[in-house]
Amino acid sequence: MENLNPIKKVNIICSKGSIEDVYAALIMGNGAVMEGIETNIFFTFFGLDAIVKKRMDKLHTAVVGNPALRLPGGLRMPTLLGIIPGMESFTSWMMKGQMDKLDVPPVSEFLDLIVAGGGKVYACKMTVDMFKMTMEDFSEHVNGIITVGEFYEHAAGEGSHIIFT
């Protein structure tokens, strides 16, 4: 389909660190790379966990305060069950298993794919300072630690879009 105003660039801000939040950013980002769209992903606040080497493949999903969470079979999961030790790990393990079946890779492998296609990955300077981190903590795919101003510079251009997750 010919479109006179195609999306030329997407700039995704990933601000949360749960499985579903990080994957929303990665799937949108990888999807853009696959379409030949220039892609920047900016990780900030708890979203930063997705590019921290030691944490990226150990993300969890919230089982307390997550009213959309359902048990296998479709029954709503009572929040009180979420406080049972191991429930969060088990639920997260289940989610990762389901995604693997759909060929959705672990976070580290997902970043490999995005970067292989030319996508760029950045860490938010303010968060890095706040959490007292350095480039050493991050995946080798991280292109740099940048400020908000620099993010907007990267995002500039006609047909460029910013997505916040």
Instruction: Let me know: does 25 contact 39? Beta carbons within 8 Å.
Output: no
Binding segment (CB under 8 A) for other proteins, from list 38-46, 54-62, 89-97, 104-112: 104-112
* Distance in angstroms (rounded) separating the CA atoms of residues 121 and 33: 12
Residue placing its CB nearer to other proteins in the complex, 30 or 92:
30
Residue 13 pairs in a beta bridge with 42, 164
Compute the least distance from the CB of residue 124 to other proteins, in Å: 25
The H or E element that residue 153 is part of is helix 148-155
Of residues 91, 113, 117, the one with CA closest to residue 39: 117
Nearer to other proteins, 26 or 63 (CB): 26
Residue 24 is a binding residue for other proteins (CB under 8 A): no
- Does residue 77 contact residue 71 with C-beta atoms inside 8 Å? yes
Q: Are 154 and 11 in contact, with CB atoms under 8 Å apart? A: yes
Interaction mask 113-152, other proteins, x per CB under 8 A: x--xxx----------------------------------
Out of 24, 104, 162, 163, point to the residue binding other proteins (CB under 8 A): 104
Residues making contact with other proteins (CB under 8 A): 1, 27, 30-31, 34-36, 102-105, 109, 112-113, 116-118
